[in-house]
Each structure stands twice: as structure tokens, then as C-alpha cells.
Structure 1
Amino acid sequence: MSGGPLAGIRVLDTTRALAGPLATMVLGDLGAEVLKVEVPGVGDETRFWGPPFAGDAGPTLIGYNRNKKSVAIDLRTTEGRQACLDLARSCDIFVENFRPGTVRRFGVDYNAVRVVRPDVIYCSISGYGQTGPMASRPAVDLMVQAVGGLMAQTGEADGRPMKAAAPVADTMGGLSAAIAILGALMERGRTGEGRYLDISMLDGLVALMGQSVAAWGMSGKVPSRWGNAHPLMAPYESFRTADREIVIAVTNEKNWTGLVALPDFAPLTADRRYEDQPSRNRNRATLVPAVEAILMTRPATHWIAVFDAAGIPVEPINTLAETLALPQLVERGMLVEVEYPPGSGNRIRTAGMPWRDVAREGPVRSPPALGEHTTEVLNAIERESQPTLPQSQ
């Protein structure tokens, strides 16, 4: 069985909340040994984000901390600082997501860790980065979505700005960190040198909005809110049917020709306002209600079958429960079961690994209880640090 491409790599994970734990979970999924440092008696703050709760863990901790070992160390103490540095000596990667300046006060910043592990890859994840006028501001996903411009673009045209339902700023920060770390590992393999990585959630969010940024750069116009519609094409949005909402995407002339070839939509063919994509975009105020009026005459299952036959992109708007029951996800193994609390027999389904093709083989290590592996890890590190005595001849 394969241990994954990162087998033999050890990660010291001092992160909490979401972006950092996501980054280190990716490394653990790929085979790295991840040592999660938590404050004794308190732990990662997401242990208390809930309900629901499973023992001392909420859904955020369960969802982002598989394939890790928990080591209880208080970095605010002299003993904790020394224990952390002792661990760092044997670790290839060090990840932290405290507010800038905090790890320096703890005495485990990049310069301190590099003394004990010169080739360490040290990754700092923060809301706004380690430099710049906003670096010291407190930042969580909501703040970054707001200041980063995503909320202003999200929601109905005449409604209030809305955050995305998923923590996209945290997620982009975590995935950006994982990508940067993997790149630094490749570089270290060639040069033998470590590297410091400064990952900003705001930078990641701006990168995610590449299409909007490019549109602004070309036009100078600030993007508006479009709800479920698309600013560059129509019809491309959600529509009501007789029983539930669906989404339709007419992205090119082939899709449009297929749509108006359907008997119910044939009257739209003669309307010059809809003769090409720019025209349909300009006249969406009349086009969208006309399309929806037709769709509301029959249930969603009818229209999905009709549009599928015509090759027009269409899907129902699923609830999460409907999504997780999709045979597509079941067949691809995108849900995994973890046990929490450890040894309880309580099985919890959670999102699996899109990177499964290169993931470690074998059972998934369930999220750890607070300090579950402290003795095991510290004893192992102590043994590793002992000098090897030459064998007698």
C-alpha cells in the first residue's frame, strides 16, 4: 500500500480555525505525518463551534482535521516554546496562522525555527499577509469576503450584499498555502534550501475573482450584483418551474438554437431582440420572464429531460442532502466516514478528497481528541534525538 507522495514528510501544525487546518489536512491526506499543536485544556477554538457537537469537537474541527495527531503544548510558556522547537527540529514543514507578530512573541517564528531546522519550509497564513498597512488587522472569513469585494458582488441586484455560503476566503487561503508548500518541497529537493512562505487570504480571494478583476481592468466599471444571473450572457441563471427551481446555461449560439428548436420556445425565434448573444444580453429584462413563463407550465423533471435531450446545460438546485445522495459522489467516494470521539463507535460522514488519486492509501485517520497523541509524539521525538551508539565489533 502506498503511503502517499508525502510519506516521510513531517509537518508541525500550530494552526487553528479553518484556513490553516485545511492546508495541513491536504498535506496529511497526501501522506505527511501532521502533528497538530493545541493549547492544553482548550484546544483549537473550532472544538467549540457548534452545535452539533461530537464530544469536544464541532463540525469545523471534524471537517478539516483528519489524518493528524494532536499534541497538547502551551506556546505561551517557556516549556511549551522549547517543546515546540524540539518538535520543529524533526519537522520538514512548519505552519502557523496566528495574527502577524504573535509567533515572534512566542519565540517560534521563522528565524527561531530555522536555527534548529535550517531547511524548514515555514508557512504563515493570515488574513492580509505579513506586510502592508492592513497586516495587523483581525481577519476571519467574513471580514475578508467583505473587504475583498466578493460580498459586494454577491446577492440579488436590488438586495443587500451577501457572503458566500461556503468559507471561500478561508478555503482559498488554505489551498493556496498547500500549493505553495508543495512547490517549496519540490524546490528543496533540488536545492536543499528551505523557504519562508507568506500566504494571505485576501490575496487568495482576489485571485479567485480573476474574471471580475479582468472585467474591471478592461472597462473601468465596478461589477454589479447579478444574483444567479451572469453579466456576460443570457439566459444563464435560475428559473422557476411548476414545482422547483432549476438552472439553465445558454452559453453559445448552438445552445440557443437548440432551445428555440423546442416547440415551447419556438416563438422566441422570430423576436429580433434575441437574435444573437449581445442582443439577448441587452434585452434580458424581457427574455428572462418570457423563458420562465414557459418553464412554469411543467415540472422540473420534464424540462430536465427535454433540455438533456437537446444538449442544453440544465440541473436542479439541490439541497445539501440531495447532493450528498447523488450516485455520482457515491461512486467517486467523495464522502468519507470518521469516528469521533475516538473509540466511541460514533461514525460521521464528511467531505472526502478531490486529490484522492495521489492520496495515502488505507483508512483515514479520524480527527484527534485534544492532546490524544501528546505522550506518543513527545516520546518518539525524544527517542529520535538520542545519539546512535556505534555497534561493538
Structure 2
Amino acid sequence: MSGALEGVRVLELTQIMAGPFCGQVLADMGADVIKVEPRDGGDQTRRSMGEPAFRAVNRNKRSIALDLKDAADQATLHRLVKTADVLLENYRPGVAAKLQADYETLCALNPRLIYASISGFGQTGPYAQRPGFDLIAQGMSGVMSVTGEPGGNPIKAGVPVSDLSAGLFCAIGILSALHARQRTGEGQRIDTSLWEGAMALTVWETAELWSTGNVPQPLGSAHRISAPYQALRTRDGHVTVGGNSNKLYARLCEAIGRPELIDDPRFLENPDRMANRPALVAELEAALAARDTAEWVDLLLAAGVPAGPLHNVQQVVDDPHTHAREMVVEMEHPEAGTVYGLGIPVKLSATPGSVRRPAPLLGQHSDEILAELDG
């Protein structure tokens, strides 16, 4: 079956994480993503983080090596632009213009072109020229201020949420612009950033600020408006528990052998449980210390309480559900041999995504792509 984006050509002039992740999302869904890499070393990730990091966000793409400071290679890019539906770039604002790869130049060559930019802080505003890094964006977006344990040192999210969310939001923007082009026949510009991608995820935290006037603080694994809804310590690890309604809380208390906690005046209603959360956690963990995590998961699920183990990454990739959902895939790389990657997290029944090829070698498809232009 063909992918949903078959027939869509994307030129990807991006490096490191956010842009390549966006391009990979589109490539997984069937787009022909041509990664335009500098002749001297290619995507910075190849040099600074190594090929495994590069392979993680660049599968299903073809690579052409061009020096966009060279007039002949600029001309090649312009020829490619005339065949493209989308151009994706993550230069600092202003750099693309110096390379003759800016929106104004390229949309004059192809008015149907959708030109998508991912930067640290967007194309406008007082921070537009600041360098964009996931850590910096997490810190300035508010994400780091609510991550970690109460009273602890600042902690960034364990995964690069600024990079990945910017890539996802950009992909949504590209798909929206493709749909709009079906009506108007014209392309448009898309502008998003690491900072906006991270800030857009603070929906609970900004709601708390605007509704209460209180500045949100870190809560560890706990929830902002419900309790108990967090990771709780067991005899050999942690179990995550969703007891965030009176019914579920009562089931939880019964399941762990502490039914008296149901009518404890400290924990009668959710506001009481929120106000007395440290005492509640202490009571629950005292009971949970009697068994291992796996036992509690089985008991709680049987009692109708949402629960799960706290997995490390190895446990996740080994989990049978991971394989049932095809979330680990194998690819044959021309140099590294068999390599593994994450599967496609959204399943389409009629036009599913697919993993068709591993991340390319630098310039691996230059001759092939140029031959198509001369076709």
C-alpha cells in the first residue's frame, strides 16, 4: 500500500534534531524527502554525535551533498525547488538569504512551495537571533521550572521535548498547508520554534497560573489537579497509579488492604487529597512496600485501578506490547549492518506509514537525484 504522502517531495535543509525529526515524520508517511547536506561533513550530527544519533532521525530519506555557498550548487538547489512541494530549513533567521535559499527567493521560483522554518525562537521578536538549543528552550519556556522534585535543582525533561515538539508542530503545519494549497493553489510560509514547541506543552501549568494566580512548581511525578496520580514506591521499584477520582481512590485503598483510608477525613475528596498529598503518599507507600511492582500491577488492574510499571528503556523495547504494536523495527544499513529504530506511532488503515530504508550515507543519492532532474 502507498503511504499517505506518496507524491509529496520535501527538500530538507536541516541538521541535528528538530528539523530532521520533522522530515522523518513526513518520510515515514510516504513523502520523498531529499536531505540536502553540506559537502563538508554533512549534517552536524554525523560529526558531533555520531552515526547512531544521525540514523535515529533520518531514515526513509535520500541524501544529496551540496555546498550552498557555491553558485553552481545553489543553481542545483533552485532546480530541485521547482520540483518540490515543501522546503524545510532550520537555519538561524537570516542565514538562508545569504545562501539564496530564503522564502522570497524560492517562492518566486515555485509559488506552490510550502516553506517551513524551525528556529530557536521564531523568525521575529527580540530573541529571534538567539541560538536555538533544546536545553535553552526548555529553560525559557517554563518546562524546566515544573520538572523535578519539589525544592530540588532545575531538571530538564529526560527527552528533548523542545526539539521533538517543534518538529511535530512543524509537520502539522506542513500538512495543514498542503491541504490549504488544494483549495488555493498557492504555497505559504510556516514559522515555528523550539521555544514555542515547548511552551505549547505547558497547557496545565498556564491554566493553573491563570485560574489561581499561583506560579506552578515542580511536583515530581504527581499531577497538578488530581491525587493520587503518580509513581509510588513498591518493595522493588515503583508503580504508576491513577486513583484520581473518588471511585478509583476507593478501589485503590481496597486493593492495597487499606480500606480505612477511604473515609479518612484527610483524604475524603480530591481537594483534601491534594492538600494532604505528602501524608497520602506516605500511607500508600507503606502498604505498597509489602509487594513487588509486578504483583501490584496485576492486583490493581484486576481491581479496576489504572496502574503500570515504571519501565527503563531496555524494558520498554523488550516489552511484548512494543512488538505487537510494531514499535521496534529493523533496517539493513550499508555500513552498520542490522540497525534498529522506533516504529511509526500512528497507524493508518488504508495508507499506512512504512520504514523503507535506513538513514542515508552522505551524498548517497546525489547521482540518482541529479539524474532525475536531467530526466
**Does 1:279 pair with 2:272?**
yes
Q: Tell me what 2:218 maps to.
A: 225
Q: Tell me what 1:387 maps to.
A: none
Paired with 1:276 and 1:363, the residues of 2 have a C-alpha distance of 49
Alignment-mate amino acid for residue 328 of structure 1: H
Paired with 1:49 and 1:313, the residues of 2 have a C-alpha distance of 42
Q: Tell me what 2:361 maps to.
A: 369
CA apart distance, 1:133? 0.4
TM-score for the superposition, normalised by structure 1: 0.92
Paired with 2:66 and 2:199, the residues of 1 have a C-alpha distance of 35
2:143 equivalent among 150, 153, 156 = 150
Larger Rg: 1
Structure 2 residue runs of 5 or longer lacking an equivalent are none
Paired with 2:4 and 2:296, the residues of 1 have a C-alpha distance of 45
TM-score for the superposition, normalised by structure 2: 0.96
Matches of residues 120-131 of structure 1 in structure 2 within 5 Å? Answer: 120-131=113-124
2:232 equivalent among 234, 239, 244 = 239
CA apart distance, 1:22? 1.1
CA apart distance, 1:345? 6.5
Q: Tell me what 2:110 maps to.
A: 117
Deviations for 1:96-115, whole angstroms, at most 9, x for unmatched residues? Answer: 00000000111110111112
- In the comparison of the two structures, how many residue pairs are matched? 374
Q: Does 317-326 or 331-340 show the bigger shift?
A: 331-340
Deviations for 1:23-81, whole angstroms, at most 9, x for unmatched residues? Answer: 1111111111111000113100111244xx5xxx132x111111110000011222221
Matches of residues 37-48 of structure 1 in structure 2 within 5 Å? Answer: 37-48=36-47
Alignment-mate amino acid for residue 104 of structure 1: A
CA apart distance, 1:361? 6.2
Cα distance 1:240–1:183, how it changes in 2: closer, same or farther (>3 A)? Answer: same
Q: Tell me what 2:3 maps to.
A: 4
Tell me if structure 1 keeps the 8 A contact 2:120–2:131: yes
Q: Tell me what 1:30 maps to.
A: 29
Calculate the aligned-residue CA RMSD, in Å. 1.5
Tell me if structure 2 keeps the 8 A contact 1:229–1:238: yes
Q: Tell me what 1:388 maps to.
A: none
Q: Tell me what 1:391 maps to.
A: none
Paired with 1:33 and 1:160, the residues of 2 have a C-alpha distance of 44
Alignment-mate amino acid for residue 35 of structure 2: K
CA apart distance, 1:359? 5.4
**Does 1:58 pair with 2:52?**
yes
2:342 equivalent among 344, 348, 351 = 351
Q: Does 158-167 or 352-361 show the bigger shift?
A: 352-361
CA apart distance, 1:117? 1.0
Deviations for 1:275-294, whole angstroms, at most 9, x for unmatched residues? Answer: 11111111112111111111
1:178 match: secondary structure: helix
Q: Tell me what 1:389 maps to.
A: none
1:261 match: secondary structure: helix
Paired with 1:332 and 1:65, the residues of 2 have a C-alpha distance of 21
Paired with 1:361 and 1:88, the residues of 2 have a C-alpha distance of 25
CA apart distance, 1:189? 0.9
Alignment-mate amino acid for residue 276 of structure 2: N
Tell me if structure 1 keeps the 8 A contact 2:3–2:29: yes
Paired with 1:213 and 1:270, the residues of 2 have a C-alpha distance of 33
CA apart distance, 1:16? 0.9
Deviations for 1:82-139, whole angstroms, at most 9, x for unmatched residues? Answer: 1111111111111100000000111110111112112111111111100000000001
Cα distance 1:380–1:176, how it changes in 2: closer, same or farther (>3 A)? Answer: same
Deviations for 1:177-225, whole angstroms, at most 9, x for unmatched residues? Answer: 1111111111111111111111122112111111111111111211001
CA apart distance, 1:231? 2.6
Tell me if structure 2 keeps the 8 A contact 1:71–1:372: yes
Cα distance 1:219–1:166, how it changes in 2: closer, same or farther (>3 A)? Answer: same
Paired with 1:266 and 1:121, the residues of 2 have a C-alpha distance of 60
1:136 equivalent among 129, 132, 143 = 129
Structure 1 residue runs of 5 or longer lacking an equivalent are 384-393
Percentage of identical aligned residues: 37
Q: Tell me what 2:297 maps to.
A: 304
Q: Tell me what 1:16 maps to.
A: 15
After superposing on structure 2, the runs of 4+ consecutive aligned residues of structure 1 that deviate more than 6 Å are none
